[in-house]
């Protein structure tokens, strides 16, 4: 019995020793790595004036290998301030300061002559040598203060995703993008950077026990792959400039789980200097905030609905008359020409409005509308970006046949690009509805994080429907898109173009010379890994999307297939 007690005491002693050692190692890690910036800040405060210190959680991209890359961080440096009431000779002070650091002469004298005790002369000084030289001048009424600010290392990269930090009345907050959506997590309520390590552990332990993350402060890891994002943005810029568009946008998404690898808009802006953005540049994200009539890419959904309801097959034929009249309104093919008796495949190959109308009428107005609504048209997608709007689909509740007919080829109903991408992904992934999202992980601290996962469990189409529409859309690329000249020898690519008239601002009809061009495609079509969506607004001196967006799409396809080393799937459909 005594021997047993002795062994127990020894084991308890060892356990206590290892626990102490573990805590000591963790504490060293926290001091040197996690909280190192805080101690550095304390050191800086030994020779600068203390002040309100901006502090905020970090945002990261994640590359294809899982490496986290800074997207939005808090940068440290100094700012130069003066007390005008203490400066006796402004000219002398300016001469000495300007010999070390570039400052605005007119602004300096304006501030130096004010009857005030505090004026900021220069912000965001990151050069320690310059700061030391200023300190060594020992100028009366001149001060250095610790300065911290939001910094985006990628400059313009993913600017419409990230947004930026700005003043909301008297406080610095996220104004757009991820910065705004997750402001409650990124915002640091406490400015004391030296949080007690043991307190953090016990706070996290409490979260584990209760299952709650109340008033957490965290860092955000995005699904955005920076190399892919950079490539998409370069393509959008080149395309926009080539066709002199009002706007170009694009999304690259995993159609199986909704992770967005890239989301871009051109023209973009530098969130480090957003006040200097070109006139007319949108800070909000039109991919989630604006609605458009998408045109013929919606025909892919119409054909899928026809297949899913068994009213057509790929071999079904119909008589294409070129023009029909419904409710005293005329519907025509893009060229007004009749095709005669043709198979349904030609609706996709030649983008035939009369064919899409035929399929919609075979399905029936009520059932057709139900499919589109089930796909999420007219609803928010739930993407983790602020200010998301939803599509305008009141025509799907009309009593007039014409409204359903025009909806079948993407006119008369308007959707956000992200809403459209959500619906189109169901064609690629076996018929399931996804939740598009930009956040992969939320990191709360040393001991706690949440992995973000969105289940795709709402079925819209049968799996057989997904396979068949993918095959049919692959035929479009291999045989019809620019005459089959862009087909791949290695991959099955499913794709469709769209050219839509743009509605007038007053709601009275459409412009005769303004169009929205859209393009979506996914690959490998047998087991899709990537879905690409592109659109441009009002390209000049060109009418059809096949001429403006096919090559940009193919460039992105080639980049992705090489960058990710995607396994070829040709001849597997």
Q: Which residues of 314-344 are buried (b: 16+ CB within 10 A; e: fewer)?
A: eebebebebebebeeeebebeeeeebeebeb
510 vs 449: CA distance, rounded Å:
50
List pLDDT tens digits, range 287-346: 999 999 999 999 999 999 999 999 999 999 999 999 999 999 999 999 999 999 999 999
What's the mean pLDDT in 164-189? 91
Tally helices (H) and strands (E) across the chain.
20, 20
| CATH architecture entry for 37-151+187-217 | Alpha-Beta Complex (3.90)
Between CA 536 and CA 243 the distance in angstroms is: 9
Is the per-residue pLDDT at 51 higher than 70? no
State how beta strands 329-332 and 323-326 pair: antiparallel
Do β-strands 247-253 and 329-332 pair in parallel, antiparallel, or remain unpaired? unpaired
The per-residue pLDDT for 20 is: 59
The H-or-E segment that residue 551 falls in is helix 550-563
Task: Please provide residue 245's backbone torsions phi and psi, each rounded to the nearest 5 degrees.
Answer: -85, 160
CA distance 501 to 27: 63
How far apart CA 440 and CA 308 sit, in angstroms, is 33
Mean pLDDT of 409-419: 97
Give the range among 31-45, 65-79, 367-381, 483-497 with minimum mean pLDDT.
Answer: 31-45
In this structure, the strands spanning 260-266 and 59-62 are unpaired
Q: How far apart are CA 184 and CA 156, in angstroms?
A: 24
Half-sphere exposure of 102 (CA within 13 A, CB side): 2
What are the pLDDT digits (tens) for 254-288? 999 999 999 999 999 999 998 888 888 889 999 99
Looking at residue 52, what is its pLDDT?
Answer: 58
Q: Residue 198: its pLDDT value, please? A: 43
Q: How many CB atoms lie within 10 A of CB 213?
A: 16
Determine the Cα–Cα distance for residues 30 and 39; give it in Å rounded to an integer: 11
pLDDT for res 348: 98
CA–CA dist 44, 123 (Å, integer): 16
pLDDT at 447: 67
Angle at 114 between CA 109 and CA 120, to 5 degrees: 70
Say if CB 229 and CB 262 are below 8 A apart: yes
Cis before residue 243, ω within 30 degrees of 0?
no
- Alpha-helix runs per DSSP H in 154-285: 159-162, 177-181, 183-186, 197-210, 226-243
Q: Give just the sign of the alpha carbon dihedral 38, 39, 44, 48.
A: positive
- How many other C-beta atoms can be found within 10 angstroms of the C-beta atom of residue 263? 30
CA-wise closest residue to 287 among 381, 197, 366: 381
The two tokens of residue 477 are 């690329």
Q: Give pLDDT, residue 172.
A: 87
Q: Which among 160-169, 198-207, 299-308 has the top mean pLDDT?
A: 299-308
pLDDT at 22: 61
> Residue 474: is its pLDDT beyond 70?
yes
Alpha helices in 364-523 (DSSP H): 365-374, 401-408, 417-428, 463-475
DSSP structure string for 323-354: EEEETTEEEE-TT----EEEETHHHHHTT-HH
Picking from 41-50, 92-101, 216-225, 417-426, which range would have the lowest pLDDT averaged per residue? 41-50
CATH architecture of the region 226-437+455-563: 3-Layer(aba) Sandwich (3.40)
Distance CA(103)–CA(122), nearest Å, equals 7
Alpha-carbon torsion (30, 33, 34, 37), positive or negative: positive
> Over 80: is that where the pLDDT of 207 sits?
no
**pTM for the whole thing?**
0.86
What average pLDDT does the segment 549-573 reach?
Answer: 93
State yes or no: pLDDT of 166 exceeds 60: yes
Average pLDDT, the chain: 88
What pLDDT shows up at residue 17? 60
Beta strands 219-222; 439-443: pairing state: antiparallel
Yes or no: say if 429 and 456 are a contact pair by the CB < 8 Å rule. Answer: yes
**Cβ proximity of 282 and 460 under 8 Å:** no
Length of the chain, in residues: 573
Q: How far apart are CA 199 and CA 207, in angstroms?
A: 12
Do residues 268 and 286 make contact, with C-beta atoms less than 8 angstroms apart? no
| Residue 258, Cβ density class (10 Å: 0-12 exposed, 13-18 middle, ≥19 buried) | buried
Q: Rounded to an integer, what distance in angstroms lies between the CA atom of residue 188 and that of residue 560?
A: 38
- Residue range 445-469, pLDDT digits in tens: 766 888 888 888 899 999 999 999 9
Instruction: Report which secondary-structure segment, H or E, holds 304.
Output: helix 298-308
Give the residue extent of every domain in the chain: 2-34, 37-151+187-217, 226-437+455-563
Q: How far is residue 118's CA from residue 84's CA, in Å, rounded to a whole number?
A: 7
Beta strand pairing call for 260-266 and 458-459: unpaired
């Amino acid at each position: 019995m005594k021997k047993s007690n002795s062994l127990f005491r020894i084991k308890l002693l060892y356990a206590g020793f290892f626990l102490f050692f573990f805590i000591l190692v963790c504490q060293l890690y926290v001091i040197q790595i996690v909280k190192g910036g805080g101690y550095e800040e304390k050191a800086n405060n030994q020779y600068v004036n203390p002040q309100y210190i901006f502090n905020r959680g970090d945002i990261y991209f994640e590359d294809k290998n899982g490496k986290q890359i800074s997207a939005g961080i808090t940068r440290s440096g100094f700012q130069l301030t003066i007390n005008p009431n203490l400066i006796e000779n402004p000219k002398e002070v300016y001469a000495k300061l300007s010999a070390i650091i570039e400052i605005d002469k007119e602004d300096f004298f304006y501030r130096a002559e004010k009857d005030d005790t505090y004026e900021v002369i220069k912000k965001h000084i990151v050069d320690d040598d310059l700061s030391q030289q200023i300190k060594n001048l020992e100028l009366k009424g001149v001060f250095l203060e610790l300065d911290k600010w939001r910094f985006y290392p990628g400059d313009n990269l993913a600017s419409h995703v990230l947004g930026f930090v700005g003043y909301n009345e008297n406080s610095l907050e996220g104004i757009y993008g991820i910065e705004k959506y997750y402001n409650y997590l990124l915002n640091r309520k406490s400015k004391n950077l030296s949080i007690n390590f043991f307190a953090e552990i016990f706070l996290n332990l409490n979260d584990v026990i209760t299952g709650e993350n109340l008033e957490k402060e965290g860092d955000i890891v995005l699904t955005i792959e920076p190399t892919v994002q950079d490539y998409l943005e370069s393509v959008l810029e080149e395309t926009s400039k080539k066709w002199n568009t009002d706007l170009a946008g694009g999304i690259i998404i995993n159609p199986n789980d909704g992770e967005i690898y890239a989301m871009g808009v051109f023209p973009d802006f530098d969130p480090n200097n957003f006040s200097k953005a070109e006139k007319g540049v949108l800070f909000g994200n039109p991919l989630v905030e604006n609605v458009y009539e998408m045109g013929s890419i919606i025909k892919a959904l119409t054909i899928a609905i026809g297949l899913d309801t068994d009213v057509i097959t790929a071999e079904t034929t119909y008589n294409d008359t070129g023009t029909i009249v419904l409710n005293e309104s005329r519907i025509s093919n893009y060229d007004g020409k009749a095709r005669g008796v043709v198979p349904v495949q030609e609706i996709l190959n030649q983008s035939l409005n009369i064919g899409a109308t035929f399929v919609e009428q075979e399905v029936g107005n009520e059932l057709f509308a139900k499919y589109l609504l089930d796909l999420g048209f007219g609803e928010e997608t739930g993407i983790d970006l602020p200010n998301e709007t939803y599509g305008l689909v009141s025509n799907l509740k009309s009593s007039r046949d014409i409204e359903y007919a025009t909806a079948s080829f993407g006119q008369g109903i308007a959707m956000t690009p992200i809403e459209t991408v959500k619906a189109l992904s169901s064609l690629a992934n076996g018929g399931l509805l996804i939740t598009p999202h930009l956040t992969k992980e939320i990191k709360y601290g040393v001991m706690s994080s949440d992995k973000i996962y969105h289940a795709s469990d709402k079925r819209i189409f049968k799996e057989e429907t997904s396979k068949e529409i993918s095959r049919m859309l692959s035929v479009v690329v291999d045989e019809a898109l620019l005459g089959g000249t862009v087909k791949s020898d290695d991959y099955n690519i499913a794709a469709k173009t769209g050219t839509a008239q743009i509605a007038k601002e007053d709601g009275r009809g459409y412009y005769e010379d303004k169009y929205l061009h859209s393009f979506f495609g996914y690959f490998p079509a047998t087991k899709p890994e990537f879905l690409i969506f592109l659109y441009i607004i009002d390209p000049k001196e060109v009418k059809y999307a096949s001429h403006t967006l096919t090559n940009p799409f193919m460039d992105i396809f080639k980049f992705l297939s090489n960058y990710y080393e995607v396994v070829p799937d040709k001849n597997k459909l």
